[in-house]
Amino acid sequence: MSAGETRDDPLVPVPGTFPFRLLSAPDTAYRVPPLADPQLAWLRPTFTALARHSMIRARIAVVRWRHPMLDVEHLLLGIVELVPPDMFAPAVAERAALVTPLEATLLPGTTERLEAIPVTNAVRRVIEMAGEEARERGYPLIGVGPLLLGLTRDADGTASTFLAERGITPASLCANLAPAAFTD
């Protein structure tokens, strides 16, 4: 389209997507359903911008893999897709070193379309632990750092097992996490 032309269809923001992603009005195929759990509604203002975007990426993963619920693997995938890989541990130099094996653990689901995405109890536990981590460190908002620490501290979680197999433990995260992981 040249500089002088205008579009016939107005661009409108699509609810549930990144604010900067605009789609034409009739195209809602990329809409990401909101979280279904009303108990998590209070969390939206308590996340940092990067943590909110990680949650959106997690919801996108649920839709992409056609899963019925948001689980810790989706949350971890949402974080891994956004943050620099060296934030996890010095041994992790590339994002693909975490994304590829993590996606290999996910099996395609059969859920066609969700109006809202339910959240597992494991995700609720991780978010509660992340809130505690942030408060203990004196941060008012939950960033990706506390979310990662919550994921590693969830004893019976598959995400903590996945991270531990790659040498990413609460101690290694505490040693490598920059203050920006708590505030951005």
Q: Are 105 and 162 in contact (CB under 8 A)?
A: yes
For the chain, give every domain's residue range.
Answer: 48-183
Output the pTM of the full model: 0.75
What pLDDT, on a 0 to 100 scale, did the predictor assign at position 90?
Answer: 58
Token pair in block for residue 25: 């009005």
Tell me how far apart the alpha carbons of residues 150 and 125 are, in angstroms, rounded to a whole number.
Answer: 8
Per-residue pLDDT of the chain (184 residues; tens, 9 = 90+): 444 444 444 444 444 444 433 344 444 455 666 766 665 665 556 888 889 889 889 999 999 899 999 999 999 999 988 887 666 665 566 777 788 888 888 888 998 888 888 889 899 899 999 999 999 989 889 999 899 999 999 877 788 898 888 888 888 888 888 777 777 7
CATH 1.10.1780.10 correct for 48-183: yes
Instruction: Quickly list DSSP for 39-97.
Output: GGGGGGGGB-HHHHHHHHHHHHHHHHHT-SSB-HHHHHHHHHTTS-GGGT-TT---THH
